[in-house]
Amino acid sequence: MAVAEGSRGVNFQVTVLKILVSYPDGFAVMADLKRDMAILATSGRDWVERTKRLAARVPDLDIFSQGLVERLNGGWRITEKGRVVLEFMEARPRELEPTSEGLGAEPSSLAPAPRPHASTTSGRSNRLQRRRAARERARGRAS
């Protein structure tokens, strides 16, 4: 399986990362990888658009030269670094740490996406409390 050039090649590489991360230990033999690639390639426009969005986060993606995927035992395996890059690509923009430019983490840093902080959780909790209070006020007015 040769890696194609251009944006199509980057979409291919994102797809490889997504497939490998779904396997136990991140390893898939070539036959399984090819089968899964064929399924995703024919799954419709949504998959193509999704991989384009993910690939845009790391425009210079090269899964082999960057050590994100390794070839072994008749298949490919995603490395820990590959998992980190995939997490970065999948992170929502608000989850990224701001940089000096204020645009979010640099893709070249390959840093993992931060986990939601307590403030995110408490923000949800506050919204739930406000909704409950509003419902109770509405019930009080209705009676």
Task: State whether residue 76 is helix, strand or coil.
Answer: strand
Backbone angles phi, psi at 140, to 5 degrees: -60, -40
Q: Is the dihedral of CA 98, 99, 103, 104 positive or negative?
A: negative
Task: State whether residue 64 is helix, strand or coil.
Answer: coil
List beta partners, residue 28. 76
What's residue 87's pLDDT? 93
Is pTM beyond 0.85? Reply is no
CA–CA separation, 72 and 76 (whole Å): 6
**What is the per-residue pLDDT across 83-134, written as a single tens digit (0 to 9) for each?**
999 999 998 776 555 454 444 444 444 544 444 444 444 455 556 666 666 6
What's residue 97's pLDDT? 53
Other beta carbons within 10 angstroms of residue 54's beta carbon come to 21
Q: Which amino acid is at 103?
A: L
**What is the per-residue pLDDT across 94-106, written as a single tens digit (0 to 9) for each?**
655 545 444 444 4
Q: CB-based contacts of 28: which residues, under 8 Å, 6+ apart? A: 19, 20, 36, 75, 76, 77
